[in-house]
Amino acid sequence: MSEVRYTDQHEWIRIADGIGTVGISKYAAEQLGDVVYVELPAPGRKLNSGGEAAVVESVKAASEVYAPAAGEVTENNPALEGEPATVNADPEGAGWFFRLKLSAPGDLTKLMTKDQYTEFLKGL
């Protein structure tokens, strides 16, 4: 069973066996519009919780993607290089950005559950 948590910057992280898969939420993808380019972190890169991890560019704007937890990048999603629109088509599935081996699993307790995130969106 995997657990999904959300940040107030609209990133999500799905945890399975100590590895977190990270992407942006459906809400963020809708706000960005058509994604045309994604810059992903290289495997081996160490990220701090809340630190810049990736860049996503759309027809409307460019935006940073922040690491929801600290850890080391184990892989990124090479499919996004050729098909960045996958982020719009399936933001919380095939449109994931990178995977992270968590160095501080306690970071996750600061993030929102799906229900908390849904409530958070109602206030925007």
| Residue 122 belongs to some domain of the structure | no
Do 44 and 56 meet the contact criterion of CB atoms below 8 Å apart? no
75 vs 96: CA distance, rounded Å: 11
Predicted model pTM: 0.96
pLDDT > 70? residue 1: no
Structural domain boundaries, residue 60: 3-111
Tokens for 96, please give them. Answer: 């994931």
| Residue 32 belongs to some domain of the structure | yes
Percent of the chain scoring above 90 in pLDDT: 92
16 vs 123: CA distance, rounded Å: 30
| Residue 8 belongs to some domain of the structure | yes
| Residue 39 belongs to some domain of the structure | yes
Residue 18 has a pLDDT of: 87
CA angle 73, 78, 98 (to 5 degrees): 30
| Residue 121 belongs to some domain of the structure | no
pLDDT tens, position by position, 30-78: 999 999 999 999 999 999 999 999 999 999 999 999 999 999 999 999 9
Residue 106 has a pLDDT of: 87
| Residue 119 belongs to some domain of the structure | no
| Residue 99 belongs to some domain of the structure | yes
| Residue 93 belongs to some domain of the structure | yes
Which contiguous run of DSSP H or E holds residue 89?
helix 86-89
DSSP string, 96-111: --EEEEES-GGGGGGS
Domain count, the chain: 1
51 vs 116: CA distance, rounded Å: 22
Residue 33 has a pLDDT of: 95
| CATH code (residue 46) | 2.40.50.100
- Nearest CA to 12 out of 124, 79, 123, 108 is that of 108
